[in-house]
Structure 1
Amino acid sequence: MTIYLPIAELSVNVLIILGMGAAVGFLSGMFGVGGGFLITPLLIFYNIPPVVAVATGANQVVASSISGAITHFRRGTIDIKLGTVLLLGGLAGATLGIWIFAALRRIGQLDLVISLAYVLLLGSVGSLMLAESISALRRAKRNETMPLRRPGHHGWIHRLPLKVRFKKSKIYLSIIPVAGLGFCIGILTSVMGVGGGFIMVPAMIYLLRIPTNVVVGTSLFQIIFVSAYTVIVQATANYTVDIVLAFVLMIAGVIGAQYGVRVGQKLRGEQLRALLALLVLAVGIRLAVELVLPPADIYSVISSGSGF
């Protein structure tokens, strides 16, 4: 069963697209990530043009994140105040990222930049996460605990000004690193079509020292609004959002996310991080292989628009 995608200008198997959306939605709910780091490469692997994959993938991120965030909201595991600070930084970053996206598209380097950025980002983040997860699993096996900081000893982040007390997360922290993290995620969302949860979740846990039980829901809260903003601007300014593709992905993603949340609640934090790290690395390796292998079609026909 095939459907035609008007913006991507090709026909695709709707069952494959539904499967992609459901799988990414499941992972979104289980890991607390938007899923864009996975859906965008999957769409590219399926021959969807990268510019369309990035913009449309962000739409699926919104759907999956909403579904997962609703569940976390009901359980009271979202820090709205912290999420709002992340959101403000994210909107600013997304605005800059959309400008970068348009500039790269004009000079014809967008596809290459997207692929290279994914390989570098997923490879580095996945490697760091996997190393930490293996270390945590070993400590858990030996019944060891992670060394705690000495009382009164704080890193440079805790010495920054403009501190605010986030009661839900039980932390007293400057809004500068929080907004800065949101800003960086906003750029990634608009340029690469990712929700950014695979970076934001580890950063919130290890860098900002936010409790794990609040991190996932708060991450999804920020991802919803930044991704939605990106989709709207990409659709109106760059005309790269394929509504048909987005609708199919959205339906499947919402369903998959509900099941993902249930599974995620049954796994330990170390196990979740290890699985996410392996997934991130697998996608990065697959993209790297695509970059070095020769294309199947070396030559392509481009219409000049002259009528001949």
Structure 2
Amino acid sequence: MDIYLPVANLSVNALVIVLLGGGVGLLSGMFGVGGGFLTTPLLIFYGIPPTVAAASATTQVTGASVSGALAHYRRGGVDIPMGAVLVVGGIVGAIAGSGIFRVLQQFGQIDTVINILYVVLLLGVGIPMAREAVQSVAATISGTPLPAKKRRHHPAVAALPFRWRFYASGLYISPLAPLILGFVTGIMTVLLGVGGGFIMVPAMLYILGMATRVVVGTSLFQILFVTAATTMVHAVTTKAVDVVLAFFLLLGSVIGAQVGARLAARFKPDYLRLLLAAIVLAVAFRMAIGLTWQPEEIYTVQLL
């Protein structure tokens, strides 16, 4: 069944969009990430203009994060004060990102910038993730455990003033650190349509030094509010949100996330992380080819 996307200005197969959202939701449920970092590239591969893909993907990420955030909150896995600071930074970053988005849009470079940022970002995340996953799997096979990593925040974080106590995270640090982290994530959410969980989670662990038990829940809490705010910002400023596209993506992702959460319990975390790294690197490679290979159609929709 074909449907018309009014903002993207093209017709697509509704079943394909639902299956695409379901696949991303499946990965979201299995790996504990928002899934936006895969939604936008997959939509671009399918022929959706990058501007519309990035703006509409935030709606899907919001929906996929709701159930996860609630589940972690019930188990005490959300640091509310830390999440609130991240949300404030994220909303400010989203507003700043919308300005950057509009400037690039006016210069006609937004599609290229989105693709380049995705390649850099996915390679930057996928390569370290793959290396760490391979080491973990090799250690499991050989029976030699890897040395435990000490949890501590980055020296630059320790140097910031105005320290607060974040009891659930086990931290006594300046709120400026999570505020800046949230700000950067907010900009990425607007430009790329990502929730930022695949950047946020490692940053929480290795830069802020948060307790592992509250990292995923707090990340989903931040993603939920920032992506919702980003959708509003896009709808008001860039006007690139395609409600029809977002609806079918959300329909598939809600179902896929539930299935993915059940499948995750049947696999070892090391193998899941290795699979996710392989998917991330495959998407990055495909996007890199798209930047250098001459496309069949050299024109895309320019939103004004």
| TM-score for both structures, normalised by structure 2 | 0.91
CA 1:164/1:29 → structure 2, altered by over 3 Å: closer, same or farther? Answer: farther
Cα displacement (A) at 1:69: 1.5
Query: For 1:51-70, what aligned pairs fall within 5 Å after superposition?
Result: 51-70=51-70
In 1, the alpha carbon distance for the partners of 2:30 and 2:213 equals 13
Q: Could you say which residue in structure 2 is the equivalent of 1:123? A: 123
CA contact (8 A) 2:94 2:233 kept: no
Cα displacement (A) at 1:292: 1.4
In 2, the alpha carbon distance for the partners of 1:101 and 1:155 equals 33
Cα displacement (A) at 1:149: 5.0
Cα displacement (A) at 1:76: 2.4
SS of the equivalent of 2:209 reads coil
CA contact (8 A) 2:119 2:285 kept: yes
Query: For 1:197-212, what aligned pairs fall within 5 Å after superposition?
Result: 197-212=197-212
Q: Could you say which residue in structure 2 is the equivalent of 1:237? A: 237
Cα displacement (A) at 1:143: 3.5
| Equivalent position amino acid for 1:133 in 2 | A
Q: Could you say which residue in structure 1 is the equivalent of 2:177? A: 177
CA contact (8 A) 1:56 1:246 kept: yes
Cα displacement (A) at 1:134: 2.4
Cα displacement (A) at 1:181: 1.1
Q: Could you say which residue in structure 2 is the equivalent of 1:264? A: 264
Query: For 1:1-308, what aligned pairs fall within 5 Å after superposition?
Result: 1-140=1-140, 141-147=142-148, 155-298=155-298
SS of the equivalent of 1:26 reads helix
**Which has the larger displacement, 2-11 or 171-180?**
171-180
* Deviation digits for residues 59-104 of structure 1 (CA, Å, limit 9, x no counterpart): 1111111122222223322221211111111111111111000000
* Deviation digits for residues 124-179 of structure 1 (CA, Å, limit 9, x no counterpart): 111122222223334454443435559x9973423432222222222323222211
CA contact (8 A) 1:32 1:217 kept: no
CA contact (8 A) 1:32 1:201 kept: no
CA 1:170/1:302 → structure 2, altered by over 3 Å: closer, same or farther? Answer: closer
Q: Structure 2: which 5+ runs fail to align?
A: none
CA contact (8 A) 1:68 1:261 kept: no
Cα displacement (A) at 1:238: 1.6
**Which has the larger displacement, 97-106 or 130-139?**
130-139
CA contact (8 A) 1:158 1:173 kept: yes
| Equivalent position amino acid for 2:183 in 1 | F
In 2, the alpha carbon distance for the partners of 1:131 and 1:58 equals 29
CA contact (8 A) 1:102 1:238 kept: yes
| TM-score for both structures, normalised by structure 1 | 0.90
Q: Could you say which residue in structure 2 is the equivalent of 1:306? A: none
SS of the equivalent of 2:8 reads coil
Cα displacement (A) at 1:255: 1.8
| Equivalent position amino acid for 1:204 in 2 | M
SS of the equivalent of 2:241 reads coil
CA contact (8 A) 1:61 1:195 kept: yes
CA 1:271/1:43 → structure 2, altered by over 3 Å: closer, same or farther? Answer: same
**CA RMSD for the aligned pairs?**
2.4
CA contact (8 A) 2:190 2:230 kept: yes
**Which has the larger displacement, 74-83 or 259-268?**
259-268
CA 1:211/1:139 → structure 2, altered by over 3 Å: closer, same or farther? Answer: farther
SS of the equivalent of 1:4 reads strand
CA 1:153/1:31 → structure 2, altered by over 3 Å: closer, same or farther? Answer: closer
In 2, the alpha carbon distance for the partners of 1:34 and 1:301 equals 27
Q: How many residues are paired up?
A: 301
Cα displacement (A) at 1:229: 0.8
Cα displacement (A) at 1:206: 2.1
Cα displacement (A) at 1:205: 1.7
| Equivalent position amino acid for 2:145 in 1 | E
| Equivalent position amino acid for 1:146 in 2 | P
Q: Structure 1: which 5+ runs fail to align?
A: 304-308
In 1, the alpha carbon distance for the partners of 2:153 and 2:283 equals 38
CA 1:146/1:121 → structure 2, altered by over 3 Å: closer, same or farther? Answer: same
